[in-house]
Amino acid sequence: MGNVTPIDAARPRVLEFFAGIGLARMGLEAAGFRVAWANDYEPDKKAMYDAQFGESVGHTFSLGDIGKVPAADLPRDAALAWASSPCTDLSLAGSRAGLAGAQSGTFWHFVRLLKELEDDRPPVVVLENVVGLATSHGGDDLTAAIRAFNELDYSVDVLSIDARRFLPQSRPRLFLVGAKNPPADVPEPNSELRPDWLQWVFGDESLRTHRAQVPTPPAPKTQGLGRVIEDMPLTDERWWDSARTSAFVSSLSSTQSERLAELKRGSGVKYRTAYRRTRNGVAVWEVRPDDVSGCLRTARGGSSKQAVVRLGNKRLQVRWMTPREYARLMGADDYDLSKARTNQALFGFGDAVAVPAVSWLAENYLMPLVRGQMAPGESVKEAAVNG
């Protein structure tokens, strides 16, 4: 038995940058990867990460500014580097001079560490961010990110995946997959993963890109919110009182008021989600019309927290969405919330990537790519990566 290889040793190792509360780790490890190293700069997120995963042999969490992380601290045998860089970090083009910035330079520090790893850099890298990256500064920011990977000898694929394909939450995200040994470039008409608004990337002759042949993901969900809502008594103190509920109703537009009135008159109980927004300087509530949650966001200042609206049997009640509901909408149903404060949890989940979106990408693309199971490109497009 002395020469038996431990199961974990056979699992490709991952470097997890901007780890947050570890939802990317959950998705990657569900697909067979093993996260060996992680970094984040927020103690509250690390506290939730530790509560969920605990300490384990072969895993290190580096708490602090990524700009102060030396490449010497990183494991040298990782197969994948995953980066869910802050969504406020969209301004990539021209930001090289601002590497000292708390957020504006985070992506470039990720690139710096990959560069300093030299021959030990992982063969596959992933950058996950909001879809706004594709249009930020007229596409210049996305171009700069791809070119930065090209300069490190990665060909880049760009995909758009909405968590709504797996969960009742509208949450589109952009995934850049960089590969040292890219698969064959397979153009796909009317692609669901690379829609028309992304096609300009693959037509840019100055970039080295590829389009891997992967399965079509599940169709977007049109219902399911009601199944993730926590069952609680109507007398629970978390439901808003009559005065606050009346203020909520009075802020609605006539169209939304009519819609909710019809739902309230119907038989059975239905749930909807609502956000508070500022329109013409006035705070109003807007209710989503379908049985799917709006995109969960960070709960800073209270204005972006999501509320639950309960309708049916001639009754309407409203309350804030709970941490457990946030967890379920991110595909982390059993996440350990025993030590997390409410706003700590809401912020952690609102600033994360949905678990099943990661696991789907990992199972259908990243693992086959790492294992060398994708057909290699016969003539990968060479680009003028220096401009």
Share of the chain above pLDDT 90, in %: 74
- 331 vs 45: CA distance, rounded Å: 17
Q: Are residue 206 and residue 237 in the same domain, yes or no? A: no
Lowest mean pLDDT among 102-106, 188-192, 303-307: 102-106
Q: Are residue 183 and residue 272 in the same domain, yes or no? A: no
Q: Give me the amino acid identity at 148.
A: A
- 291 vs 239: CA distance, rounded Å: 20
Q: Are residue 216 and residue 237 in the same domain, yes or no? A: no
Per-residue confidence (pLDDT) for residue 7, from 0 to 100: 52
Per-residue confidence (pLDDT) for residue 276, from 0 to 100: 87
Take residue 107 and report the two structure tokens written for it: 């992506």
pLDDT reading at 60 higher than 90: yes
- 134 vs 196: CA distance, rounded Å: 12
Q: What rounded mean pLDDT belongs to the chain?
A: 89
Take residue 48 and report the two structure tokens written for it: 């939730």
pLDDT higher for 3 or 331? 331
Q: Are residue 85 and residue 140 in the same domain, yes or no? A: yes
The active-site residue out of 51, 71, 87, 232 is 87
Take residue 213 and report the two structure tokens written for it: 């042949």
Q: Are residue 200 and residue 274 in the same domain, yes or no? A: no
> Is residue 193 within 8 Å of residue 165, measured between CB atoms?
no
Length of the chain: 387
- 225 vs 288: CA distance, rounded Å: 11
Per-residue confidence (pLDDT) for residue 305, from 0 to 100: 85
* pLDDT bucket at 238, cuts 50 / 70 / 90: very high
Q: Are residue 16 and residue 67 in the same domain, yes or no? A: yes
Nearest residue to 18 (alpha-carbon basis) of 362, 355, 348, 357: 348
Angle between helices 106-117 and 140-150 (to 10 degrees): 10
Active site includes 295?
no
57: domain range? 7-220+353-370
> Is residue 176 within 8 Å of residue 126, measured between CB atoms?
yes
Sheet containing strand 80-83, edge to edge, reads: 60-63, 34-40, 13-17, 80-83, 124-130, 172-179, 155-162
> Is residue 82 within 8 Å of residue 128, measured between CB atoms?
yes
**Domain count along the chain:** 2
Q: Are residue 58 and residue 80 in the same domain, yes or no? A: yes
* pLDDT bucket at 277, cuts 50 / 70 / 90: confident
Residue 53 counted as domain residue: yes
- Average pLDDT of span 42-64: 95
Residue 317 counted as domain residue: yes
pLDDT reading at 119 higher than 60: yes
Per-residue confidence (pLDDT) for residue 378, from 0 to 100: 53
Q: Are residue 57 and residue 157 in the same domain, yes or no? A: yes
The domain that contains 30 carries what CATH number? 3.40.50.150
pLDDT reading at 259 higher than 80: yes
Nearest residue to 311 (alpha-carbon basis) of 255, 268, 251: 268
* pLDDT bucket at 281, cuts 50 / 70 / 90: confident
Per residue in 317-346, pLDDT tens? 999 999 999 999 999 999 999 999 999 999
Angle value at C-alpha 163, between 161 and 164, nearest 5 degrees: 110
Per residue in 183-230, pLDDT tens? 999 999 999 999 999 999 999 999 999 999 999 999 999 999 999 999
Per-residue confidence (pLDDT) for residue 89, from 0 to 100: 53
* Alpha-carbon separation of residue 352 from 22, 49, 69, 97, 215 (angstroms): 8, 12, 22, 27, 24
Q: Are residue 307 and residue 260 in the same domain, yes or no? A: yes
Q: Are residue 245 and residue 203 in the same domain, yes or no? A: no
What would you measure as the largest C-alpha separation in the chain, in angstroms? 73
- 21 vs 40: CA distance, rounded Å: 9
- 159 vs 140: CA distance, rounded Å: 17
